[in-house]
Amino acid sequence: MCNTLTSVTEIAYAWTLPRALAAGPTKTCQMRRRSRYPGQHRPDYCAAARIQNNMDAFCKEFNDHFTIIPATDAQLVAECQRLRYQIFCTEHQIFSGSRYESDLELDEFDGHSVHSLLRHKATGTNVATVRLVLADPQRPQSKFPLETHLGRYIYADPASFHRAPRVALAEISRFAVSREFRLRSGERNQTHNVVVDPDTSASTKRNRQHPYVTLGLFKAVLQMSLENDVSFWCAAMEPTLMRLLSRFGIRFSPIGPVMDYYGLRQPCTASMHAVLQGIFDQRPDVWSFVTNGGNLDPHRKMASHS
């Protein structure tokens, strides 16, 4: 189980939740109906139980099918680069494969980046990857990829970008999923996986796993950020990915217009604290999953110990 009662009680009243959850969903509804204080505002026991059940189901579904693998050695980094070559050079032909040797897609930013893989447990296949480009330790003021390629389009003074300490800023990059896990026709031209309104009655079991892949990559970003003292993010995102993430409370602020840069992209930024607060407010089940029940949310973790 990857959630904690602490996260639920902040949503559904701490003083009633343990009794409600212990009683089960049916019993909690009965308890609510038999309240001795008719007409007064009462905790929603059923909502609390639904939140708890959603959290458990979300975590179980992901953990049954996928695992996040931090690329902690050269071999795993090469696996990330090999998957990137497959996605960007072979499947989508965004980059020319002739630019790279040994079927590895890499660039000058990989030297000061951290990487993660998402692996499908049943097949052992790497299905998705993401990297976090850190500030260059030798040249902290050097440009991120976003600034190098799209800097002239960034708005004059987006405070959360220009004022963020460089050492605490990182760029989310190479956020990509293999074609095997983008089966629906509307997703074939996306480098990430998008299931905004999944038709679960017609979808295959693998199709229903699609949102977990995107959220698994975001969880990997969060883990890498905490390990490297990153608290601000920037990215050049496809508008479809921004819309999907917003459905889960993950909101990035545009800092430039949508433009054609290897497909439609929009420069955007966010602070970790604001993003995690947004997820907590809108989707507590997603918050519990991406933060391991609050253990990866530094602000709420500190509050719980204060």
Tokens of residue 131, six digits: 């990297």
Question: Which tops the pLDDT comparison, 142 or 186?
Answer: 142
- 219 Cβ contact partners less than 8 Å away, ≥ 6 residues apart: 68, 289, 290, 296
Q: Burial level of 70, CB count in 10 A (0-12/13-18/19+)? A: middle
85-99 pLDDT, tens digit per residue, is: 999 998 888 888 788
Q: What is the pLDDT of residue 144?
A: 93
Mean pLDDT of the chain: 77
Tokens of residue 112, six digits: 């000061």
Q: Which one-letter amino acid corresponds to residue 219?
A: K
Angle at 160 (CA atoms; ends 159, 161), nearest 5 degrees: 90
Cβ atoms of residues 41 and 28 within 8 Å? no
| Mean pLDDT lowest among 33-37, 159-163, 173-177 | 33-37
| Mean pLDDT lowest among 89-103, 105-119, 126-140, 243-257 | 89-103
List the domains of the chain with CATH numbers.
5-305 (3.40.630.30)
pLDDT of 84 > 70? The answer is yes
Alpha helix (H) residue ranges in 89-192: 145-150, 159-162
The residue whose two tokens read 């970003």 is 221
Among the listed residues 57, 68, 51, 67, the one whose alpha carbon sits nearest the alpha carbon of residue 6 = 51
Beta bridge partners of 265: 259
Question: Looking at residues 134-154, what average pLDDT do you find?
Answer: 88
Question: Which tops the pLDDT comparison, 33 or 178?
Answer: 178
